[in-house]
A and B are shown apart, each in its own frame.
Chain A
Amino acid sequence: MPEKLKVDTRMTVETPEGVDFQFVIAGPGKRCVAFALDSLIKVGTMILCVFLLMAITGTNGELPAVSNGIVLVIWFAMSWMYGACCEAFLDGRTLGKISQGLRVVRTNGTPIGWFEAFGRNLLLVPDSFLVFGPIALNTVGVLSMAATRRMQRLGDLVFDTMVIDEAREFISRSPDIAVGVDPIERAECRGRYHVPERTLAVIERLFEGDRLISDGRREEIARTLSVQLRERLGYIEPQPDPHNPNAFFAQTPRKHTAFLKRIIKTFADDGQGDTSEDAPLKKARTTSRRAVGSAADSSAMSLDRIVAEAADYEMEDHSKKQTATATLPTPADDYVDPTYLVDFDEDSPTKTSEGESS
């Protein structure tokens, strides 16, 4: 079976509990910085020890024979043992790795043991072979990283480990998409439809800052989605103001992009720019059932309030749903929740069965 092509550096790991979760593989940049820092620490410790011994023995320049032996042993410890001991005792991290937020784990996500830590550090020797002369440090390791999916150097390959990036780059909604955009009002739509999260994600991708798309091209792409969404929502197309048509027509060339931004504003439910980890929790909405009842007549009520109460994302446009379920049941109807969730599951299964019988 062909491996799915990956465009980012995330690796999915399955836990014994049968859940997939993702690690971000550390790239060569961060690893280089960590490596350089570690080298500095090694050399620094050596120099510090030499000075310390000089201070203790009170000689300057020449070290007595015993100190010479100590220095050599420390040199040995630094060059062969430093990385291994750090990774064994600090849960797969050296000091350099801590500073970069990196960690060594097994490829199944479990922490590494002593022998793996020791072995992968011994294999720094072949990894740091110079292939193209003194300029290209760690050539073998870098080549091996380039050739493997998990960016493993030889030491990682042999001992089945990988270096992961623990820095949490939180995937947040880019706050600037929906700045200064009005949410879609209830009165503007005839239908009842909740834009699912995955659609929102697609829209966000379209507006990502690192995407080099001209405004015209973005409008073209947006059109496909926008037209569909307008239809689902029963969006009432605004008409030009007869007294001042210019304002309307000035907006038409970008109307799909603008519409998608309004979708984001309306349905993306987390606070803008709020990137703290428990943001989704804070925003747990407390809409009461009464709000839905009054929603139909209150024109000022924004869609997302209603949606919060009424819409499972599976519950689409009402009329469509009924015709669909009448002919053949969709798999969503047979879907059974995990048992522990069933007791507070009130909406969807009962509702759809009512819809079928009526």
Chain B
Amino acid sequence: MEYEPVIGLEVHVQLKTRTKVFCGCSTEYGASPNTQVCPVCLGFPGVLPVLNCLALEYSIKVGLALNCTVQEFTKFDRKHYYYPDLPKNLQISQYDLPISKDGFLEVTVDGKSRKVKIRRAHLEEDAGKLIHEDNFSLVDFNRTGQPLLEIVTEPDIFSPEEAYEYLTNLKSIIQYLEVSDCDMEKGTLRCDANISVRPKGQTGLGTKSEIKNLNSFKAVRDSLVYEIERHIETINNGEKIVQETRLWDDKKGRTVSMRSKEEAKDYRYFPEPDLPPFIISKEKIEGIKKTIPELPKEKILRFMREYGLPEYDTKILVSTKENADYAEKRLKAFPDKDKKPVANWIIGPLASIAANLKCEIYQIKIPANNFIELINLVEKKQVISNLTGKAVLEKMAGMPEKSAAKIIEEENLAQVSDEASLEKEIDAVIKTNPKVAEDVKSGKTNSIMFLVGQVMKKTRGKANPKVVQEILKRRLV
């Protein structure tokens, strides 16, 4: 029998506010343990939490960007569980009236687009951090009370690839909104996955497992591939799937049962008596709507339209808001109608320089006019070859104030297009490669590129490859 997977994702993003969600403690990352705590986040008796207005605004913003209905009336509830990372023995969360609900996020897999339904996005407080030693556990409450937005999909994702795409798009949107860093390594974005399988064509849901300990989007995808196979194998062996939480072991590439006595979850939610409800006016929602910037999907379409770029290029250019702004400044600065050379230089040489420097493209501080000048010198004026151009760009990354022309002049890199001075090198190359020269003569014109390459090598990239090719053609063809 053929089975299909049904996946739902729960994503927690830490909102980038300066203070915690219900108190004024700092949210700065990396502080010494238990130095960003106060009676409110430590849950002392008699304290009163007060909601951070920015956390509310950010939550609404995300809800709107995810096409959700933002509820006019929202409230907080207490979720009870006992664990040492939770000093109050309850978490302030939202139960039946989340800030936003019923949204969707468009995903495109293999050229096909569909909308993944989002059930809800609610605001809650984060728990502390535990460090397990041999005989005891250490608790740091600095993270306790940091604002978390939990975004839950419907069981409406049907392949690991789609889950990966959903997460990539979600992260990109939230980063564009500038409300969270979405850094999985720092834990500002966390994801749990629910997965079940069912016979293809059936509408009911099979028994699910929940996967935790997912440290990257790749881990989410890999763990889902693994779980789908495990579920199908279990069913085919005539066994039953046990509803349980499983941990992903990234090194071994498999999930393992948590094996802890899985107690029935009984959170005994009730309305948080310390927080009066929130009424969000239409004006407020409209006001926040206006602050939503152009989101990745629209930006891709506009870049394709305005700059005549292929979808592939634009997708890379707009991967983050910073990169998109950086690219757009350079696309605009390029006077020609055909902007493709600019896109090529950004996603090619510039991206590889960024990768080597382990930074983002936008962090390479070459001014737009210098960057454009270099492209002109290579592509139009042909003062230097493509290869030399890349080398010059690398130098520019190290000293951004220096112009391309200056570097070329100082290092005597200008391309040699003068035929007379190239003839000598070409003669030598033909002499040392008689076989290839014969091949070209006898009609294998493709081999000419090998000879061009040899001349380039001999002149250390300074020969104008077009002129070299022409001379060679004249001689041999």
Bound pair (A, B): no
Identify the B interface with A (CB < 8 A).
none
